[in-house]
Chain A
Amino acid sequence: MISTSVTPPRAVLLGQPNTGKTTLFNRLCGLRSHVANYPGITADARIGRWQPGDTTIELVDLPGVYSLDLDLPESTLCRRFLNGKLGEAKPDVLLIFLDASKLARTLRLYAQATRLEIPICCVLTMADSALQQGSSIDIEVLEELLGVPVVSIDGRRRSSLGPVSLAVESATVPSRTPPDDPRDWSRATADSAVIVTDPEARATVTRRTDRIDQFVTHPLWGTLTFLTVMSALFLTIFWLASWPMDWIDALFSVASSVIEGALDAGPLRSLITDGVVGGVGSTVVFVPQIALLFFLLSLLEETGYLARAALLADRFMRPFGLPGHAFVPLLSSHACAIPAILCSRLIPDRQDRLATILVAPFLSCSARLPVYVLLISLLFAGQPLLAGLAFTGCYLLGAIAALLSSLLVRKTILRGPSRPFVMELPPYQRPSIGHALEVAGERSWTFLRKAGTVILLICIALWWLSSYPINAPSAEVQSLRNQVAAASTVDEKTAIEKRANRLQAREQVAASFCGRAGHWAEPILEPVGADWQLSVAILSSFAAREVFVSSLNVVLGAGDDSGAVGSIARVRNSVRDDGSALLTPSSAGGLLVFYVLAMQCLPTLAVTRRETGGLRWALLQLGYMTALAWALGAATRTLLIALGWP
């Protein structure tokens, strides 16, 4: 059936949500896929290449739909795509996904698709769920009734690829077209094709599912379960990810040292070590957390619990204008806002999706942690309990800001009714570790590709801005260099050289484009507690907030002897130009609140722009978050001063 023209034949995957369509797509195409957007439609499709044997097939994964006739973005996209009205030819083959555990329901979409007159083959999934419920499907009878090939697969297994390839080869235009209202037809067809193997099994599964559902959606027990599961999820992520994060950090430090040893001092060495290696390292270090988050989320999703958690969350989130669907994206935002925004594609309503994207960066991500560690250590040195409470407070403040901001946007710029919260609840089942690993790998790669490249470019740009124009060493630096030559011992030489390096680095930053910008921004950022040095760190961390700590160290003349403990001590002992302490409790408090709320992440803005289809939403997000961060940061500092904290 597949033609042998120059352009590869196109096969389209069509099915209702949760029928295993995307799982098979990922299995067939691996990571070789991209997202296709179409003007005027706020849903998108994924396109990939599949190579069964010597043939290459272009596979299109359309969004899951319950019907082709709905006025919803995903239905519009499917309808127009399948009719060849998006500037592309009609597909060559249609793979329609049928769920063996709810055949009658999924046959309705098949009935609609038969009117398109495209060769069809059906992919039967969830046979294991059907078997659990005491039934199986007679494939031969179903093929006979539909008049098209049917193949039963488990998309999570590699062994499924062969049968799918054969089914695609034998796809055919159905000879029989179901009636316009297919409800009775689909029930009759399902009744004929379903073989009940264990009449009691369905009742047993139903009773068990009812009991679990009663518990996990109970106002008290369900909420406690929810809090326990989420706490365990986060603790596992932060605990387990800390090791690979340390290894990656160490690996990049070694790489940096090797390059420093191999290259002569100069702009090229500085560009590679500070710009390229530093930039890549600052992104890659978060991959373990992202991979772990998506691995665990995938496991939870496959058990069927996550859909129930979203249902429970809808009750708490709906008063703030957010649907239960936003729960998973917002949860992901605690690792990184970029995958969270990508995840928000799961939210069917555009208004809901926009609100989620706008507020997701308020939730404290991993990149904020180094800033929290630094500022909280300065605020509550030697007071672990208060420091712990301050950490919790930062997370809470971000969550409250997200909810209240959502309420605000839904009452103003995103007014209008929300889509009703109706969610299909999948059956409870044992998750597949292999599939979860694949999901984690795919999401991590997406993160690296989308964020890594942008962060790398930004870090190179920042390196240039803080390195140029090159400033001639001052007389004081020259004098120190002269003292190095006259020093009698090696230790004395090293100490003087370090002092000279630190001073020169500080002078360089002060005279660089970044330093000039810091002086310019000082009056604006002074209310939150920043002088020009802190302003440089804030401005340079606009691209990526975690850069704040390293930038501050560069400005304060860290030289080559930086370290976590050393950094905090150095910042604590640093002074402003007037001799006062650089970070007093009030300025540390103001800056902490500023960093909880500020949109200091350029890659996130880039992803917001892409996912919302316009620059204005990204600019709104930047403007709103920055203004709120500045106002509340300044208010916090003022309040702390009024309470007697200088």
Chain B
Amino acid sequence: MIRSIKARQDLLGGPVRLASISANTPFELVSDTVPGEQRQLLEAMGLAGAPGSLRVCRSGSPCIVEVDGTRLGLSSAIARCIMAVPLPSSR
């Protein structure tokens, strides 16, 4: 999985912060820098941990993303800690 992400990053460019992704673009989560305790909740909500696809519905602050058919509102502080790469279809 990590190799495939790396390959995609080489192909599409490096990961970008969720906070700076423009709206309506499908992305895939790659990493995050959220502190341990707080990370658990995000992981359970599908916003951290294993790679997964998401769509940014509203960029900036506040940030709204759609993960697994659920809309999540994030503070900009969290959106800055989550890194994602664009999915090939979005290029």
Residue ranges of A at the interface with B (Cβ–Cβ < 8 Å): 66-67, 69-72, 101-102, 104-105, 181, 183, 206, 209-210, 213-214, 217, 307-308, 310-312, 314-315, 318, 324, 348, 417, 419-425, 427
B21 located at the interface, meaning its Cβ lies under 8 Å from any Cβ of chain A in the complex: no
CB distance from B34 to the nearest CB of A (A): 7
Residue contact A422 to B45, C-beta cutoff 8 Å: yes
The CA-CA distance from A46 to B89 in the complex, in Å, is 47
B37 located at the interface, meaning its Cβ lies under 8 Å from any Cβ of chain A in the complex: yes
Proximity string of chain B (48-91) to chain A, C-beta cutoff 8 Å, 1 when within and 0 when not: 00101000011001101010111111111110000000000000
What are 15 A-B contacts defined by CB distance under 8 Å?
A71-B40, A101-B69, A105-B68, A209-B57, A210-B57, A213-B57, A314-B62, A315-B76, A318-B75, A417-B35, A420-B74, A420-B78, A421-B75, A424-B45, A425-B72
Closest 3 CB pairs of A and B: A66-B44, A311-B73, A421-B75
The CA-CA distance from A66 to B42 in the complex, in Å, is 10
Residue contact A217 to B64, C-beta cutoff 8 Å: yes
Residue contact A105 to B46, C-beta cutoff 8 Å: yes
B38 located at the interface, meaning its Cβ lies under 8 Å from any Cβ of chain A in the complex: yes
Residue contact B62 to A311, C-beta cutoff 8 Å: yes
Residues of A within 8 A of B22 (CB): none
Residues of B within 8 A of A102 (CB): 68-70
Contact with B78, one of A72, A348, A422 (Cβ below 8 angstroms): A422
Residue contact A420 to B41, C-beta cutoff 8 Å: yes
Residue contact A420 to B73, C-beta cutoff 8 Å: no
Residue contact A424 to B70, C-beta cutoff 8 Å: yes
Residues of B within 8 A of A101 (CB): 69
Residue contact B71 to A70, C-beta cutoff 8 Å: no
Residues of B within 8 A of A70 (CB): 40-41, 44
- Assess A423 versus B72: contact at CB under 8 Å? Given A66-B45, A105-B46, A311-B62: yes
Residues of B within 8 A of A71 (CB): 37, 40
Residues of B within 8 A of A427 (CB): 71
The CA-CA distance from A101 to B68 in the complex, in Å, is 10
Residue contact B64 to A425, C-beta cutoff 8 Å: yes
Q: Which of B42, B70, B78 has the most CB of A within 10 A?
A: B70
The CA-CA distance from A105 to B70 in the complex, in Å, is 8
The CA-CA distance from A206 to B38 in the complex, in Å, is 29
Residue ranges of B at the interface with A (Cβ–Cβ < 8 Å): 23-24, 34-35, 37-38, 40-47, 50, 52, 57-58, 61-62, 64, 66, 68-78
Assuming A66-B41, A70-B40, A427-B71, what are 16 further A-B pairs, CB within 8 angstroms? A105-B70, A213-B58, A217-B64, A307-B73, A310-B73, A311-B73, A314-B62, A315-B61, A315-B75, A324-B75, A348-B41, A420-B41, A421-B77, A422-B41, A423-B73, A424-B71
The CA-CA distance from A406 to B69 in the complex, in Å, is 35
**Secondary structure call for the B interface:** mixed
The CA-CA distance from A421 to B79 in the complex, in Å, is 10
Residues of A within 8 A of B46 (CB): 105
Residue in B closest to A426 when the chains form the complex, CB atoms: B71
Residues of A within 8 A of B43 (CB): 67
Residues of A within 8 A of B42 (CB): 420, 422
CB distance from B16 to the nearest CB of A (A): 19
Residue contact B38 to A420, C-beta cutoff 8 Å: yes
- Assess A67 versus B38: contact at CB under 8 Å? Given A101-B69, A104-B69: no
The CA-CA distance from A599 to B29 in the complex, in Å, is 48
Residue contact B41 to A72, C-beta cutoff 8 Å: yes
Residue in A closest to B34 when the chains form the complex, CB atoms: A420
The CA-CA distance from A56 to B3 in the complex, in Å, is 57
The CA-CA distance from A283 to B73 in the complex, in Å, is 38
Residue in B closest to A130 when the chains form the complex, CB atoms: B69
The CA-CA distance from A425 to B71 in the complex, in Å, is 5
Residue contact A312 to B72, C-beta cutoff 8 Å: no
The CA-CA distance from A315 to B63 in the complex, in Å, is 11
CB distance from B1 to the nearest CB of A (A): 12
Residues of A within 8 A of B77 (CB): 318, 420-421
The CA-CA distance from A213 to B62 in the complex, in Å, is 10
Residue contact A422 to B72, C-beta cutoff 8 Å: yes
The CA-CA distance from A609 to B41 in the complex, in Å, is 28
The CA-CA distance from A323 to B66 in the complex, in Å, is 21
The CA-CA distance from A307 to B64 in the complex, in Å, is 12
Residue in A closest to B74 when the chains form the complex, CB atoms: A422
Residue in B closest to A313 when the chains form the complex, CB atoms: B62
- Assess A420 versus B75: contact at CB under 8 Å? Given A67-B44, A311-B62, A314-B62: yes
Residues of B within 8 A of A424 (CB): 45, 70-73
Residues of A within 8 A of B23 (CB): 210, 214
Residues of B within 8 A of A66 (CB): 41, 44-45
Q: Which of B24, B38, B69 has the most CB of A within 10 A?
A: B69
Residue in A closest to B39 when the chains form the complex, CB atoms: A420
- Assess A104 versus B35: contact at CB under 8 Å? Given A70-B44, A213-B58, A214-B58: no
Residue contact B41 to A210, C-beta cutoff 8 Å: no
The CA-CA distance from A424 to B76 in the complex, in Å, is 15
Residue in A closest to B66 when the chains form the complex, CB atoms: A206
The CA-CA distance from A82 to B42 in the complex, in Å, is 23
The CA-CA distance from A310 to B72 in the complex, in Å, is 12
Residue in B closest to A104 when the chains form the complex, CB atoms: B68
